[in-house]
């Protein structure tokens, strides 16, 4: 048997240095690469290339490099094959990055293939969204294909499989098929009466399936894999079997005992058969197992990369290709080579489609399961890159919980792109830069092992990424008006302020200072406090980007709410320097300042760090929703530099955003001492709405 197992992956420790600057990280990476190259040169007698100044290409390291070396072809061709039946989530960012990135690194190309073999569940909005997400992440599909493009060819191969005696039409019920698979309750594996029908008979019946003679569940075309291979056939006789025979039997045993090879369905009849691309032409549709490997072959895919749940399906993948001469037996030389990497598991949020649907649309407990729910349960096992579907979930079992029956639970989030979710549309809307997301995915490592991480780890990567790539502005979330009563009404200082003090290339902008400014309520206290270094009655404070400090003269309060409404202060060289400097925004009609804005501050959607463990059957999840998960600050003010940074977006200028459709979310900036923000998609020319991307520090607090 050829060695089809990939090399044992070299484990790479994920980078856990969110506080390091990007430059420091690059330096570290270069150092490490230089060291590795040196050592390699030593061990291989100096044959290795010397370390260059090129940044380390993550696709040419570790496990991915091993995969390439197993099949080092010139024209690498990969594919990203989502089912167009939902929105992609953060886990898919790994599949996109790995498939497109791998191809790009080795000078090849990658297709975007819509695996659209399940007619009832596909909607146009999913196709559109998936295309957008690939492009947003900075990748250009070589071709956009659809499994449905190949329905004719697939059907022909279905007939061919039957002609070769490797396919049969089966009329057993689901229960009978299960029984044949054996197990504790059913005894040994067995074939059904349809297994031994003649190819002619099967062909006629397969055509009858195609022509509508059967309803769903009445007929299946099954692949004649190893269900009929009985244990006697691979029982080793220690006395008489030669080494060669023993080896063959061991191989046969592993195939015959793999449930993925127990005569899986190739074609099934669909009652709701309307397909949005092929209309009513087909009443039968090919399964994932039949379609996937053949479409890989049709498209000339060289490296078929998927997640490790599909590892047990690899023999089935190869079986069909070999059965139809699309691959040589026990060889990866011709046709696609399937290899599996570990999933990206992100704890701290909900990624299951069905559960997000509950959050988006609300839910009624104890309702009848919909046909969709049941279909999901049947198909759950087949979902590529998406093992998060949990068939036991929600309404089917909720019925038994008397307490919950009939209870209506309202929606928890705005939509599928609510910034508190971890769908890709939500991450984009929240302002996560596509480059930071790709970096996050690769930092978790691409190996055989699953990459398990927490949502807050993404924040660390994003923070580091934004630190030097977006401009800085002053933004006041909760303003208190300050009148500097010692200044003339038309007093104006125009300060030339850099967008990023460490990066002159970002340029400078004019910031006005006038008699009326606004500071953040957090930066003021009504009483002196030795631990508080900002503005108080007895303590002056410095102003960022302004010449002098301010000192309080008096302040007034709203008698009803007790809130401070305005402060009288003086400004100038005579005011003692404060212990701290705070941000502010001035009023200046000439500069169109301040810019008024609404800011939405997001925190985790659930109080628990493990929302998947909440009670999703009886609605218990609703009680754990964090009431502070979205705090809206309605009266924020931004300095006038905002006009320019809006003009000059995207920040940063990355290929995905620079070349694609300009989204509001690419207008990003750091609010000095506050947080990173982006413009929300609901913002208009007259109405600024900001989303907090991440806080400046891990705890989100200010000192
Ligand atoms: Zn049967």
- Ligand 1 midpoint to CA 172 (Å): 4
- Ligand 1 midpoint to CA 291 (Å): 22
Over residues 252-306, the pLDDT tens digits come to: 999 999 999 999 999 999 999 999 899 999 999 999 999 999 999 999 999 999 9
Confidence band of 65 (pLDDT split at 50, 70, 90):
very high
Average confidence score pLDDT of the chain: 88
Distance CA 531, CA 299 (A): 67
For residue 130 the two structure tokens come to 């998936």
Question: Which ranges of 173-231 would DSSP assign to H, the alpha helix?
Answer: 174-180, 199-210
Beta bridge partners, 220, equal: 170, 268
pLDDT at position 385 is 34
pLDDT at position 364 is 87
Residue 239: active-site member: no
Mean pLDDT of the 542-569 span? 96
Question: Which ranges of 211-352 would DSSP assign to H, the alpha helix?
Answer: 243-256, 288-298, 314-323
- Ligand 1 midpoint to CA 312 (Å): 24
Confidence band of 123 (pLDDT split at 50, 70, 90):
confident
Ion ligand 1: residues, CB within 5 A, are: 170, 172, 192, 194
Q: Are 419 and 691 in contact (CB under 8 A)?
A: yes
pLDDT at position 29 is 53
* 316, pLDDT greater than 80: yes
Confidence band of 162 (pLDDT split at 50, 70, 90):
very high
Cβ-proximal residues to 3 (8 Å cutoff; 6+ apart), any chain: none
399 vs 235 pLDDT, higher one: 235
pLDDT at position 391 is 41
Over residues 630-663, the pLDDT tens digits come to: 999 999 999 999 999 999 999 999 888 988 777 9
CA distances from 54 to 46, 47, 446, 478 (A): 20, 19, 21, 46
Distance CA 89, CA 383 (A): 13
- What length does the chain have? 703
* 365, pLDDT greater than 90: no
Confidence band of 6 (pLDDT split at 50, 70, 90):
very low
pLDDT at position 367 is 57
pLDDT at position 46 is 39
pLDDT at position 498 is 96
- Ligand 1 midpoint to CA 224 (Å): 11
Q: Are 566 and 556 in contact (CB under 8 A)?
A: yes
8 vs 79 pLDDT, higher one: 79
Confidence band of 326 (pLDDT split at 50, 70, 90):
very high
Q: What is the DSSP letter of 619?
A: S
277 vs 520 pLDDT, higher one: 520
pLDDT at position 373 is 45
Q: Are 451 and 344 in contact (CB under 8 A)?
A: yes
- Report the Cα 581 to chain-centroid distance in Å: 39
Check 343, 420, 428, 439 and give the catalytic one.
343
Mean pLDDT of the 154-179 span? 96
Confidence band of 404 (pLDDT split at 50, 70, 90):
low
* 32, pLDDT greater than 90: no
Cβ-proximal residues to 402 (8 Å cutoff; 6+ apart), any chain: none
* 452, pLDDT greater than 70: yes
Mean pLDDT of the 172-197 span? 90
Residue 113: active-site member: no
- Ligand 1 midpoint to CA 289 (Å): 19
What burial letters (b/e) apply to 1-28, b meaning 16+ CB within 10 Å? Answer: eeeeebeebeebeebeebebeeeebeee
Confidence band of 119 (pLDDT split at 50, 70, 90):
confident
- Cα within 13 Å of Cα(440), Cβ side: 31
- Ligand 1 midpoint to CA 264 (Å): 12
Distance CA 488, CA 513 (A): 12
pLDDT at position 390 is 43
Confidence band of 33 (pLDDT split at 50, 70, 90):
low
Q: Are 554 and 536 in contact (CB under 8 A)?
A: no
Mean pLDDT of the 147-154 span? 97
- Ligand 1 midpoint to CA 275 (Å): 27
Distance CA 317, CA 338 (A): 8
Nearest to 315 by CA among 381, 225, 401: 225
- Ligand 1 midpoint to CA 232 (Å): 22
Mean pLDDT of the 130-138 span? 96
214 vs 364 pLDDT, higher one: 214
Mean pLDDT of the 457-477 span? 96
Distance CA 303, CA 345 (A): 23
* 4, pLDDT greater than 60: no
Over residues 499-513, the pLDDT tens digits come to: 999 999 999 999 999
* 379, pLDDT greater than 80: no
DSSP string, 8-49: PPPP-PPP--TTS-HHHHHHHHHHHHHHHHHHHHHHTTT-SP
pLDDT at position 121 is 72
297 vs 125 pLDDT, higher one: 297
Q: Which range, of 363-367, 390-394, 469-473, averages the lowest pLDDT?
A: 390-394
Q: What percent of the chain has pLDDT over 90?
A: 78
Question: Token match 């992440």: residue?
Answer: 137
Check 83, 289, 299, 570 and give the catalytic one.
83
Residue 156: active-site member: no
pLDDT at position 406 is 75
Confidence band of 320 (pLDDT split at 50, 70, 90):
very high
Distance CA 363, CA 343 (A): 29
- Ligand 1 midpoint to CA 198 (Å): 13
Mean pLDDT of the 625-630 span? 96
Q: Which range, of 32-36, 151-155, 527-531, 586-590, averages the lowest pLDDT?
A: 32-36
Check 104, 353, 428, 438 and give the catalytic one.
353
* 171, pLDDT greater than 50: yes
């Amino acid at each position: 048997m050829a060695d089809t197992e990939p090399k044992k992956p070299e484990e790479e420790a994920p980078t856990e240095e969110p506080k390091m600057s990007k430059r420091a990280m690059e330096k570290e990476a270069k150092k490490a690469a230089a060291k590795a190259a040196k050592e390699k040169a030593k061990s291989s007698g100096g044959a290795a290339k010397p370390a260059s100044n090129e940044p380390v290409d993550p696709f040419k390291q570790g496990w991915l490099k091993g995969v390439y070396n197993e099949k080092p072809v010139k024209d690498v061709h990969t594919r990203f094959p989502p089912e167009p039946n939902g929105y992609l989530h953060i886990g898919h960012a790994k599949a996109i990055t790995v498939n497109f990135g791998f191809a790009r690194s080795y000078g090849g190309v990658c297709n975007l293939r819509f695996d659209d073999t399940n007619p009832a569940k596909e909607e146009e909005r999913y196709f559109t969204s998936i295309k957008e997400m690939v492009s947003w992440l900075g990748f250009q599909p070589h071709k956009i294909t659809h499994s449905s493009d190949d329905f004719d060819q697939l059907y022909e191969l279905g007939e061919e499989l039957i002609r070769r005696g490797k396919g049969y039409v089966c009329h057993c019920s689901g229960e009978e098929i299960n029984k044949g698979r054996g197990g504790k309750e059913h005894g040994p594996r067995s074939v059904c009466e349809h297994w031994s029908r003649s190819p002619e008979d099967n062909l006629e019946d397969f055509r009858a399936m195609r022509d509508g003679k059967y309803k769903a569940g009445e007929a299946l075309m099954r692949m004649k894999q190893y269900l009929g291979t009985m244990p006697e056939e691979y029982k080793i006789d220690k006395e008489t079997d030669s080494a060669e025979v023993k080896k063959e039997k061991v191989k046969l045993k592993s195939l015959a005992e793999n449930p993925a090879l127990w005569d899986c369905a190739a074609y099934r009849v669909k009652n709701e058969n309307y397909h949005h691309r092929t209309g009513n032409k087909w009443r039968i549709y090919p399964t994932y197992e039949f379609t996937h490997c053949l479409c890989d072959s049709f498209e000339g895919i060289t490296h078929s990369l998927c997640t490790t749940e599909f590892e047990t399906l690899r023999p089935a993948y190869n079986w069909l290709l070999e059965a139809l001469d699309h691959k040589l037996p026990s060889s990866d030389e011709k046709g696609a080579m399937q290899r599996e990497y570990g999933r990206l598991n992100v704890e701290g949020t909900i990624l299951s489609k069905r559960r997000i649907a509950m959050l988006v649309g609300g839910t009624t407990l104890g309702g009848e399961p919909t046909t969709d729910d049941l279909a999901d349960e049947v198909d759950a096992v087949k979902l590529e890159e998406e093992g998060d579907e949990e068939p036991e979930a929600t309404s089917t079992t909720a019925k038994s919980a008397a307490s919950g029956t009939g209870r209506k639970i309202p929606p928890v989030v705005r939509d599928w792109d609510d910034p508190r979710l971890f769908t890709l549309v939500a991450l984009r809307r929240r302002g996560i830069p596509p480059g930071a997301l790709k970096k996050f995915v690769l930092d978790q490592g691409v190996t055989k092992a699953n990459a398990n991480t927490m949502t807050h780890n993404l924040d660390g990567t994003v923070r580091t990424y934004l630190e030097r790539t977006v401009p800085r502005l002053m933004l006041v979330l909760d303003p208190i008006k300050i009148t500097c009563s010692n200044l003339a009404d038309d007093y104006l200082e125009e300060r030339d302020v850099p967008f990023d003090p460490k990066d002159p290339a970002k340029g400078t902008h004019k910031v006005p200072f006038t008699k009326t400014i606004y500071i953040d309520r957090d930066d003021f206290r009504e009483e002196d406090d030795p631990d508080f270094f900002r503005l108080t009655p007895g303590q002056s404070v410095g102003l960022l980007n302004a010449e002098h400090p301010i000192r309080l003269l008096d302040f007034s309060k709203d008698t009803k709410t007790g809130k401070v409404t305005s402060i009288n202060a003086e400004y100038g060289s005579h005011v003692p320097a404060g212990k701290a400097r705070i941000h502010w925004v001035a009023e200046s009609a000439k500069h169109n300042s301040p810019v008024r804005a609404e800011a939405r501050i997001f925190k985790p959607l659930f109080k628990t760090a493990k929302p998947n463990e909440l009670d999703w059957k009886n609605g218990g999840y609703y009680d754990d929703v964090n009431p502070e998960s979205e705090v809206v600050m309605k009266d924020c003010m931004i300095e006038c530099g905002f006009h320019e940074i809006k003009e000059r977006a995207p920040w940063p200028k990355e290929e995905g955003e620079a070349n694609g459709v300009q989204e509001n979310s690419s207008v990003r900036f750091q609010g000095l001492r506050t947080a990173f923000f982006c413009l929300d998609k609901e913002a208009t020319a007259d109405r600024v709405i900001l989303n907090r991307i991440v806080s400046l520090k891990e705890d989100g607090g200010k000192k």
